[in-house]
Amino acid sequence: MMNHKLPLSAMTLTAALLLSGCGSGDESAGAASSDPSASPSASEQAQAPETSAAVAESLTEAVDSATDVTEITEDNDPNDLIGRPNGYTAAAVIDDEGGKSGQDLGIDSGATVEQWDSKSDAQERSDYIQEIQKEGGGLLGSEWNHVHEGFLLRVSGELKPSVADEYEAAFNELF
């Protein structure tokens, strides 16, 4: 095993160079952040919503035909999946003028946002729903599904495609 020793002067020079970049006297470090044309840091950029209810509220503000949001709880969950093993952690239903509002808290109201532990869990749920609808030959309805992070946006196939496109665009803007 070789013993690598730097002379004291080399270590002193290395330390001096490292410390010189950390000093508050470095004027170039502050210049970029005070420039209004500089791009914002990650902390200054808009943060993606953290809950299904927040996502649903944002979508309701962005989509003209969306009228109301109802947060799903373990007492009103039509799928009995909230908080259960292999279920979503939170969900919200969006009533849409083109949907069947007021009938129940399902996809027929317009759209739903499900929050899963991971993106892969949300994608699995989307794939499962699409497979069931495909096997049902249209008898089980249809819907558009979009996944970002751990969120699954489900838009009822009863809505016009142009409205579904509005939901998709607004959802994509959030992430």
pLDDT digits (tens, 9 = 90+) for 18-36: 333 333 333 333 333 344 4
- Residue-level pLDDT at 16: 36
- CA of residue 40 relative to chain centroid, distance: 20
- In tens, the pLDDT along 51-102 reads 999 999 999 999 999 999 999 999 999 989 999 999 999 999 999 999 986 6
pTM of structure: 0.73
Tokens of 95: 């009533």
The sheet that has 143-148: what strands, in order across it?
Answer: 66-72, 90-96, 110-115, 151-156, 143-148
Grade residue 104 by pLDDT with cuts at 50, 70 and 90: confident
- Residue-level pLDDT at 106: 86
- Residue-level pLDDT at 10: 38
On whether the CB atoms of residues 147 and 155 are closer than 8 A, the answer is no
Is the model's pLDDT at 15 over the cut of 80?
Answer: no
Q: Is 170 helix (H, G, I), strand (E, B) or coil?
A: helix
Q: Is 59 exposed, middle or buried (0-12, 13-18, 19+ CB in 10 A)?
A: buried
Q: Which of 150, 57, 173 is nearest to 111 (CA)?
A: 57
DSSP string across 108-167: GGEEEEEE-SSHHHHHHHHHHHHHHHHHTTTTT--EEEEEETTEEEEEETTS-HHHHHHH
